[in-house]
């Protein structure tokens, strides 16, 4: 079980667990909240079969990674990703993020640049700016985040189950798209997370990525469900696609937030097709 040590000045060492499989052009998978790298179960085989090297890691506080008391902000998350990229010396990489992972990619590219990156895929998009403010009137009211924090403090295990029901739209999609056993598997991943990290990540959701968007310079594919209850497409993927010219938005009909599982066929096809575009261009 490989680990990568990362640390900030004045803090204890934090170890990130990762899996590094296959060979070929590297694809880095960055999971959503409150899951872990194991959430990419339906993407990893497809990427390996297509001839890619696949690296999936657990965000600090989640999965098998260390569970520190601090560092649950996007500057730190981006620094962790940068340490992974440089330590493994990844080049020409494709960054694929889901939910919170889309924030890592956006902040990483905005702060560290694209020297090691060929392109990116953002699934269930969080940026550019989720919080409703005077200059972002279409955002989500701050009271929503406060209610989430209150529910987590009261009983994070109960909240995690309620969240996952809306994460997968299980009341609508039913067993055909997400079984109860798969729901329980996701809940187990959530329950394994750091209680501190579980809560503090909510504060990170209100990060303003609009400056980062101005610094992006690689092609991005956005994949978002039109029935996403967690990150409504009108407040996230649509303004992102309008704010960054070199992006393409694919909308998944009836897709919930957890489309990497419920609509893996569409997600995998779009990811692989987007990666293949570069190879076809080079061949031409």
Task: Decide: residue 50, CB within 10 A, 0-12 exposed, 13-18 middle, 19+ buried.
Answer: middle
Rounded to a whole number of angstroms, the CA Rg of the chain reads: 18
- Determine contact, residues 198/99, Cβ cutoff 8 Å: no
How far apart (Å, rounded) are the C-alpha atoms in residues 176 and 170?
A: 10
Active site residue 257: yes
Active site residue 241: no
Q: Which one of 52, 98, 224, 257 is the catalytic residue?
A: 257
Give every CB contact of residue 122 below 8 A, 6+ residues apart in sequence.
97, 102, 105, 106, 220, 221, 222, 223, 237, 240
Q: Which one of 228, 241, 247, 263 is the catalytic residue?
A: 228
Q: Which one of 66, 99, 186, 247 is the catalytic residue?
A: 99
* CA distances from residue 247 to 91, 172, 231, 254 in whole angstroms, order as listed: 21, 30, 18, 22
Tokens of 128: 């550019």
Short-list 95, 90, 156, 97, CA closest to 127? 97
Residue 256 CB coordination number (10 Å): 26
How far apart (Å, rounded) are the C-alpha atoms in residues 151 and 145?
A: 10
Beta-bridged to residue 21, according to DSSP, are 54
- Determine contact, residues 1/31, Cβ cutoff 8 Å: no
Active site residue 228: yes
How far apart (Å, rounded) are the C-alpha atoms in residues 73 and 61?
A: 12
Catalytic residues: 99, 228, 257
């Amino acid at each position: 079980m490989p680990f990568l040590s990362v640390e900030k000045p004045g803090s204890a060492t934090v170890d990130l667990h990762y899996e590094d499989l296959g060979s070929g052009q590297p694809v880095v998978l960055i999971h959503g909240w409150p899951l872990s790298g194991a959430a990419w179960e339906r993407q990893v085989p497809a990427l390996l079969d297509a001839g890619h090297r696949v690296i999936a890691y657990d965000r600090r506080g989640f999965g098998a990674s260390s569970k520190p008391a601090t560092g649950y902000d996007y500057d730190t998350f981006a620094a962790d990703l940068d340490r992974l990229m440089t330590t493994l010396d990844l080049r020409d990489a494709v960054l694929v993020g889901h939910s919170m992972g889309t924030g890592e990619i956006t902040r990483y590219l905005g702060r560290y640049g694209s020297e090691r990156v060929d392109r990116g895929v953002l699934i269930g998009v969080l940026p550019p700016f989720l919080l409703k403010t005077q200059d972002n009137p279409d955002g989500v009211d701050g009271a929503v985040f406060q209610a989430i924090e209150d529910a987590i403090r009261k009983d994070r295990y109960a909240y995690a189950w309620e969240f996952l029901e809306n994460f997968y739209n299980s009341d609508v999609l039913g067993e055909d798209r997400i079984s109860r056993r798969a729901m329980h598997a996701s809940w187990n991943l959530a329950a394994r997370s750091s209680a501190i990290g579980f809560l503090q990540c909510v504060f990170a959701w209100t990060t303003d990525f609009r400056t980062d968007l101005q610094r992006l310079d690689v092609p991005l594919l956005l994949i978002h469900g039109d029935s996403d209850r967690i990150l409504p497409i009108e407040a996230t993927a649509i303004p992102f696609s309008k704010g960054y010219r070199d992006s393409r938005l694919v909308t998944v009909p009836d897709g919930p937030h957890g489309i990497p599982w419920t609509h893996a066929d569409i997600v995998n096809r779009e990811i692989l097709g987007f990666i293949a575009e570069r190879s076809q261009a080079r061949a031409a």
